[in-house]
Amino acid sequence: GTETLTFNVDHGYLEGLVRGMKAGILTSTDYHNLAQCDTLEDMKLHLQSTDYGKLLSSSEEDLTVSLVDSKLRANLVTEFSCLRSNALPPLSTFLDYITYSYMIDNVVMLITGALKQRDVAELLPRCHPLGAFDQMAAVGIARTPTELYSAILVDTPLAPFFQDAVSESNLDEMEAEILRNKLYKAYIESFHSFCKNIGGVTADIMCPVLEFEADRRTFIITVNSFGTELSGADKSALYPSCGKLYPEGLRLLAKAEDHEQVKAVANCYPEYKLIFDDPEPGADFKTLEDRFFEQEVKLNMLAFLQQFHFGVFYSYVKLKEQESRNIVWIAECVTQRQKSKIHNYIPIFPGTH
């Protein structure tokens, strides 16, 4: 289409940048070497030879897993803010959309923290910096979702997602979790339609990724709701309606009572059948979460096969996040001397060197 013709005028530089940064994603040899490390110091030494460079060595304090985690996170934020500050619309809106999911997580974390009487100053450093916003610290003041919306979040970009979530019930942990899912549903539907409006390759790439994301949340909500008093109607109000499961799958899932029923629903969809399949007897056992992550990585890698679209930015952030999770997992295993589990990370771009 015409957008391919003019894409590079506005976004060519950033796409080139993000593809360059993607080349720095750790390869299977890097993971292999990392998995051989005996201490965090060794990991630091090895990461020096990758694109992370002196990231870990420039700190004065002793290395801990949490320090590694926060450094990796800070690294991602630096890269992302570089992209964001150079972006022109509609890419800038697209990038903002990526941050909204972190904002939702931060809001819910602050609410649950406030419910447990934690100090805000203690909670703030634990928020994801990609989802930071000015009014964040005041979230603890609100007692009901309505109050949260009308007093605090009305100025933030999260406001439009609140349309369905406004209620007068008191915020407790369950309510916070429901609030998270409602916000997320609104967010993902809005993001989906935004990508669809952009059209072209961006829609081709992003829609499957977001549909998968929506379906993953649906499955997770269903599995987590076992043993709670959440009714079928309550559940279906939380399911994002932009996924492949919509509408028939969602109806069936709302009724599901145990794991077998969820599996039966998944069996109707070839892409999810694999995830719910029983593991082969010889293979390593992987949690449902890990299998979803694996699938997500696969989808995100596809984004790099095409040019002139925004999907690469989303995919890069997600892949980089997965990489941080992998490094932190390996670091955890190294410090706790759990060598047997060290290979349970999710490889990104396997077979590339």
State the nearest-atom distance from the C-beta of 321 to other proteins, in Å: 26
Q: Which is nearer to other proteins, 8 or 36 (CB)?
A: 36
Question: Residue 271 has which token pair?
Answer: 């892409």
Q: What are phi and psi of 184, to 5 degrees?
A: -65, -40
Minimum distance, C-beta of residue 168 to other proteins, in the bound complex (Å)? 16
> CB of 85: closest distance to other proteins in angstroms?
16
Nearer to other proteins, 49 or 336 (CB): 49
Chain residues in the site for other proteins (CB under 8 A): 33, 36-37, 41-42, 45-46, 49, 53-54, 57-58, 60, 120-121, 134-138, 140-141, 150-152, 154-155
54 vs 255, which CB is nearer to other proteins? 54
Residue of 323, 333, 341, 346 whose CA lies nearest to 38 = 333
Nearer to other proteins, 55 or 242 (CB): 55
Give phi and psi for 329, each to the nearest 5: -60, -45
Helix, strand or coil for residue 94? helix
In the complex with other proteins, which residue's Cβ is closer, 37 or 178? 37
Q: What is the rounded distance in angstroms from the CA atom of residue 215 to the CA atom of residue 198?
A: 22
Question: Cβ closer to other proteins: 155 or 248?
Answer: 155
Burial of 347 (0-12, 13-18, 19+ CB in 10 A): middle
> What is the distance between the alpha carbons of residues 314 and 308, in angstroms, rounded to a whole number?
14
How far is residue 235 from each of residues 104, 178, 226, measured CA to CA in Å?
Answer: 19, 9, 11
For residue 330, the minimal CB distance to other proteins (Å) is 14
State the burial class of residue 149 (Cβ atoms within 10 Å of its Cβ: 0-12, 13-18, 19+): buried
Q: Find the shortest distance in angstroms from Cβ 58 to other proteins.
A: 6
In the complex, the smallest distance separating the C-beta of residue 340 from other proteins, rounded to whole angstroms, is: 20
